[in-house]
Amino acid sequence: MWQDVLLPPVVWRLSGVRPANHPQRRLALAARWLAEGVLPARIEAWFTASGTPADAVTELIEILTPRLANDEFWARHWTLRSRTLDRPLPLLGAARATDLAMNAIFPWLHARADAGRRPEVVQEIERRYFKWPAGEDNAMLRHARQRLFANGARRFPRTAAAQQGLLQIVRDYCQAAGPLCSECRFPELIRALPKLTQAPFPITESSA
């Protein structure tokens, strides 16, 4: 019946994806948000009322959790055809909430505040962005730390913004440098930083 509207296999990227983050579960969550129709307003209210960074993470998970009646199917299935799980699992956890905050929610709030010419709100959004606690560690972050830091850097980074910076370095430099880093241009950039910071438009934490 629905064969003609199925998404083709080429659009699914399943390599390295954990079962809880399967695209089918993400689509189910997005459908719940769309059905409720109040998510943007709830996010704005959350930003206005949220307190400390630790509390903000918990509050954001609550905001992003649909208020519709519990969906027993997705609470106990990874995909449409997977076996029934022994215990229920949420559609959204802390790691996914942090990903959404850093890659979608804060940029969206920032764009709205900037377009509305509200510099005080822009400043507050940036402050919260840089203070947001680190999310879940992953292979790409470990790869970046191994290449860029000494052995004592296992606990770095401690904020999600620093994690985003490391991931960007990996995408911009490490992935194109080869396994031996022989063609990496990142050291050249670091050596040029003293000159760049003396330029008319110095690099700051908010613009890096």
Domain boundaries, the chain: 7-133, 136-208
56 closest CA partner among 66, 64, 46, 65: 46
Nearest-angstrom CA–CA distance, 117 and 109: 12
User: What is the reported pTM?
Assistant: 0.78
| Residue 90 pLDDT | 84
User: For tokens 């399967």, what's the residue?
Assistant: 22
Concatenating the DSSP letter of every residue in 88-156 gives ---S--HHHHHHHIIIIIHHHHHHHHHHTT-HHHHHHHHHHHHHSBP----HHHHHHHHHHS-GGGTT-
Concatenating the DSSP letter of every residue in 7-47 gives PPGGG---TT--GGG-HHHHHHHHHHHHHH--HHHHHHHHH
- How far is CA 119 from each of CA 44, 114, 115, rounded to the nearest angstrom? 17, 7, 10
Task: Please count the CA atoms within 13 angstroms of the CA of 52 that sit on its side-chain side.
Answer: 2
| pLDDT string in tens for the chain (208-residue length) | 666 777 787 887 777 788 888 888 888 899 989 988 899 999 999 998 866 666 788 889 888 988 755 578 888 899 888 999 998 888 888 888 999 999 999 999 999 999 999 999 999 999 999 999 998 888 888 888 888 876 656 667 789 999 999 999 988 888 888 777 878 888 888 888 776 555 554 444 444 3
The values of phi and psi at residue 159, to 5°, are -130, 155
Mapped onto helix, strand or coil, the DSSP state of residue 159 is strand
Nearest-angstrom CA–CA distance, 162 and 156: 8
Other CB atoms within 10 Å distance of the CB of residue 208: 8
- Are 167 and 144 within 8 A, CB to CB? yes
Tokens linked to 178 = 């080869």
- Are 133 and 54 within 8 A, CB to CB? yes
